[in-house]
Amino acid sequence: MALFVTGGAGFIGSNFVLDWLEQSDEPVVNLDKLTYAGNRENLAALAADPRHFFVQGDICDRALVDHLLATHRPRAIIHFAAESHVDRSIHGPAEFMRTNIDGTFTLLEAARSYWNSLKGVELRQFRFHHISTDEVYGSLQPDDPPFAENNSYQPNSPYAASKAASDHLVRAWYHTYGLPITISNCSNNYGPYHFPEKLIPLIIANALAGKPLPIYGDGQQVRDWLYVTDHCSAIRCILEAGQVGEVYNVGGWNEMPNIDIVNTIIKLLDELRPDPTGSYARLITHVTDRPGHDRRYAIDARKIERELGWRPAEIFETGIRKTVQWNLANQAWVEHVTSGEYRQWLDSNYGARL
């Protein structure tokens, strides 16, 4: 028995692989293309672990996926692999269409062929779990109820549109071919190994470097925040007890405006790594908002609690402290991932907005 994980060297995927092998002896076959956000260093603790079989490759490579499925015969596919940064999707949407739509299609077809080859218990137990995002639902007004699983899709960015398309493909392969799928739509994740282009790790990295802390517009965009290991535990619950064909929203019950997130990080850094020149608050810099920026996301996670008994273990105050402490203790990792290409990306995205 084994799991087949795509994108398992990325932020959420690598946390899932580490969490899984910490709690289970079931092997993991890990397929990752190792783009800018995929990092083998995330998996350094598994370098000598025979339970972890890593393959650098593309989910769009049907022959490779077929070979891995036939060789390792997994009981489940956990599909994390995706391009995921909204700003990058605005600057260059083509790669998002290829990975998130074409890649998911290729993986579904390979999974369908493999599943059709199974018999008996293996056939009945097989699952295809697709990890998606709350951004497929669009934007909420301040007084709107949180997104539920039956909300209509209204994606507002190339990234969100590509993930919405991938969700629809997964659903169609269930209804048309009977492929035993589950889908989860999560809120904003944060925690260890978070690539420093997203809000929380970017603010930490820039503050420590004495660089501006870029805040889009007025900073009142509201997000729900989910600690990454809580997300991993939710996926485990869905894999163990989720109903075939069902969608589960996974949230942290932590709605907060972006500016409050930044101020919380500043307060922690002022406590844990004080700057002799003064509070990091002096670095806050409001920049031009990005096009089509969704104002509010919020997740209603009552279904997964009601049906599977899952709730997040972390509140935001505990999760963000752990995240800041991890970043302070792992500055070598941060320096390694902030390559020349990454710095050029920051300049191209934020430089013109200052």
- Residue among 32, 58, 135, 314 flagged as catalytic: 135
- Residue among 58, 134, 149, 167 flagged as catalytic: 134
In a domain, 291, yes or no: no
In a domain, 101, yes or no: yes
CATH number of the domain bearing residue 132: 3.40.50.720
Confidence (pLDDT) at 16: 98
Residue 297 annotated among the catalytic residues of the structure:
no
> For the chain, how many structural domains are there in total?
1
Query: Tens digits of per-residue pLDDT, 261-289?
Result: 999 999 999 999 999 999 999 999 999 98
Phi/psi-derived region of residue 260, left when phi > 0, alpha when psi is between -120 and 50, beta in every other case = alpha
Report how far apart, in Å, the C-alpha atoms of 168 and of each of 91, 209, 282, 329 are: 24, 42, 45, 41
Cα dihedral 299, 130, 235, 188, rounded to 10, equals -40
Q: Which residues contact 345 (CB under 8 A, 6 or more apart)?
A: 36, 88, 197
Chain centroid offset of residue 58 CA: 18
Pairing state between β 127-133 and 213-216:
unpaired
Confidence (pLDDT) at 271: 98
In a domain, 73, yes or no: yes
Confidence (pLDDT) at 253: 96
Q: What are residue 52's phi and psi, to 5 degrees?
A: -110, 115
Which portions of the chain are predicted below pLDDT 70?
A: 339-354
Confidence (pLDDT) at 340: 58
Residue ranges making up the domain that contains 126: 3-191+226-253+296-314
Distance CA 239, CA 19 (A): 14
In a domain, 343, yes or no: no
Residue 135 annotated among the catalytic residues of the structure:
yes
Q: Which residues contact 271 (CB under 8 A, 6 or more apart)?
A: none
- Residue among 159, 174, 216, 248 flagged as catalytic: 159
In a domain, 129, yes or no: yes
Query: Tens digits of per-residue pLDDT, 64-113?
Result: 999 999 999 999 999 999 998 888 899 999 999 999 999 999 999 999 99
What residues form DSSP beta bridges with 256? 223
Considering the entire predicted model, what is its pTM?
0.93
In a domain, 345, yes or no: no
SS (H, E, C) the chain: CCEEEECCCCHHHHHHHHHHHHHCCCCEEEEECCCCCCCHHHHHHHCCCCCEEEEECCCCCHHHHHHHHHHHCCCEEEECCCCCCHHHHHHCCHHHHHHHHHHHHHHHHHHHHHHHCCCHHHHHHCEEEEEEEHHHHCCCCCCCCCECCCCCCCCCCHHHHHHHHHHHHHHHHHHHHCCCEEEEEECEEECCCCCCCCHHHHHHHHHHHCCCEEEECCCCCEEEEEEHHHHHHHHHHHHHHCCCCCEEEECCCCEEEHHHHHHHHHHHHHHHCCCCCCCHHHHEEEECCCCCCCCECCECCHHHHHHHCCCCCCCHHHHHHHHHHHHHHCHHHHHHHCCHHHHHHHHHHHHHHC
In a domain, 270, yes or no: no
Distance CA 86, CA 323 (A): 22
**In b/e form, how buried is each residue of 249-261, taking b as 16+ CB within 10 angstroms?**
bbbbbbbbebbeb
In a domain, 209, yes or no: no
Residue 134 annotated among the catalytic residues of the structure:
yes
Q: What are residue 9's phi and psi, to 5 degrees?
A: -110, 0
Would you say 43 and 18 are in contact if contact means Cβ atoms under 8 Å apart? yes
Confidence (pLDDT) at 199: 94
Chain centroid offset of residue 211 CA: 26
Confidence (pLDDT) at 354: 55
